[in-house]
Structure 1
Amino acid sequence: MHEAQDDGARAVSTTPEGSPTVAPPDLGAALSVRGLWKRFGDTVAVQGASLDVPAGSFYGLVGPNGAGKTTTLSMATGLLRPDHGSVHVLGEDLWASPDAVKRRLGVLPDGVRLFDRLTGRELVTYAGLLRGMDRATVVERTDELLEAFDLTGDAGKLVVDYSAGMTKKIALASALIHAPRVLVLDEPFEAVDPVSAANIRDILRNFVASGGTVVVSSHVMDLVQRMCDHVAVVANGFVLAQGTVDDVRSGSSLEDRFVELVGGRQVSEGLQWLRS
């Protein structure tokens, strides 16, 4: 496991200058991120993030709200250009060859609007055609994906009329249509009912079993501990720890280890009026 210094020893910088030299990227990893920085005005969202996601792994990215998870994943998938740093996907430099690298990525961003005035079938079909796939293959794969996600009966409905769980599933189907080798999912289980979540988990496990790699961000520590074999803990734009789940949790639960690393647990002497 790789772990940062404790909070008291960690200085918050506002520029990459003076940052420690980062190691070369791991070209054998599914995703290798080195020294990513991103600033929005006076706010530094990500400060020197480096990650190595092993090929064939189920990798969890956890952190509190505002930790920099979404910004890190956006830079790692080509949705947002970093101010500094590099990203390699399956050994290829993302920002040197963005079109070629993105063909190997499937991305489910958090909060990005879908073309929800299309039906479910039209949305998945559009995603395939947008990738340059031939129509016959798109039609075949769309039917298979709709069946796998239990959406065949709702394929003719407008996406705007879908529930939160159905919307996540149709978005994930759209991310899978071109058979990516690395799947990056930002909060895929947020607002998803238990049945839909179980269905999504099964599909992701099968994807990894077939040789794919999944990177998923989540606030649900128990879910990450049960699903993932590797994990990184992020807070305040820093990667505090990364490695196998067992290494990072160090003999305790992932939730307890997360709170220990991130801090912020409040012990209050007040609220006496809540006690009977």
Structure 2
Amino acid sequence: MDVALGMQGLRKRFGDKVAVEHVDLAVPAGSFYGLVGPNGAGKTTTLSMATGMLRPDAGRVDVLGVDLWADPVTAKGLIGVLPDGVRLFDRLTGLQLVVHAGMLQRLPRATAVERAQSLLRALDLEQDADTLVADYSAGMTKKIALACALVHAPRLLVLDEPFEAVDPVSAASIRGILADFVATGGTVIVSSHVMDLVERMCDHVAVLAAGRVLAAGTVDEVRAGASLEDRFVELVGGRRTGEGLEWLHRS
């Protein structure tokens, strides 16, 4: 199996809090890989370490065979990242921002402009190309950040909650773009809280809780005959009942 993203023994601590404890994952090349877990499970920290935005306390990351921390420039050139809590140069227009992202990845300006225009059109942002990103809605900001992640035609996409605040029509367009990306040899890793979405989109999934991988494999292997949501709750635990809230009930 060719591995697009390999993580071995990743660990990260913030003061006394252990955020990630010995995460081992091998994401197959050409897969649509879902990473799911409850709030505080360590998903964002894991993805930040896997994409070079956060240095681990221990462990190794390989991007398509390139050691991320030994050769970060080469490795990062292979990745497109949509991080959690998107922070952008929001005093640029949408078109300027995507062109800037492309040129940072060493694309010629003319190529960056052409690709940026195509991405804005595909993501239904063409009419807002000359609007400052500071004036974009939350959903538009998410889409322009995705365009920045795609503009250099990476081989691996790592997306943290890409559908958050995105309307259903745009979400369908994004799913189509990502499906085509995988169908032509790319690899997508997506973090999401929406189990139904992951179950429909992804062919592989990993369940993370308390900084550890509880299960990983194909979606069918992980859900083991149940729905992914039921299997997730079973693995993670913590289902709460309405006990003590009888005062909410009407007789």
TM bucket by the smaller chain?
Answer: over 0.9
The counterpart of 1:65, out of the listed 39, 46, 71, is: 39
Q: Deviations over 1:188-220 (max 9, x none)?
A: 111111112111111111111111000000000
Secondary structure of the residue aligned to 1:30 is: strand
Structure 1 residue runs of 5 or longer lacking an equivalent are 1-25
Distance 1:268 1:153 in 2: 47
Partner of 1:229: 203
Choose 192-201 or 62-71, whichever is displaced more.
Answer: 192-201
Partner of 1:94: 68
Tell me the CA shift for residue 267 of structure 1.
2.7
Partner of 1:123: 97
The counterpart of 1:194, out of the listed 168, 178, 190, is: 168
The counterpart of 1:103, out of the listed 68, 77, 82, is: 77
Partner of 2:230: 256
Tell me the CA shift for residue 112 of structure 1.
3.1
Structure 2 residue runs of 5 or longer lacking an equivalent are none
Choose 76-85 or 142-151, whichever is displaced more.
Answer: 142-151
Secondary structure of the residue aligned to 2:20 is: strand
The counterpart of 1:204, out of the listed 160, 166, 178, is: 178
CA RMSD of aligned residues (A): 1.0
Tell me the CA shift for residue 241 of structure 1.
0.3
Distance 2:206 2:10 in 1: 15
Provide the TM-score with structure 1 as the length reference. 0.89
Q: Is the 8 A contact 1:166 1:196 kept in 2?
A: no
Q: Is the 8 A contact 1:60 1:215 kept in 2?
A: yes
Q: Is the 8 A contact 1:59 1:214 kept in 2?
A: yes
Residue type of the partner of 1:98? P
Q: Is the 8 A contact 1:67 1:237 kept in 2?
A: yes
Q: Deviations over 1:47-88 (max 9, x none)?
A: 000111100000000000000000000000000000000001
Secondary structure of the residue aligned to 2:173 is: helix
Tell me the CA shift for residue 142 of structure 1.
1.1
Distance 1:79 1:112 in 2: 13
Is 1:81 the equivalent of 2:59?
no
- Taking only the aligned residue pairs, the percentage that are identical comes to 73
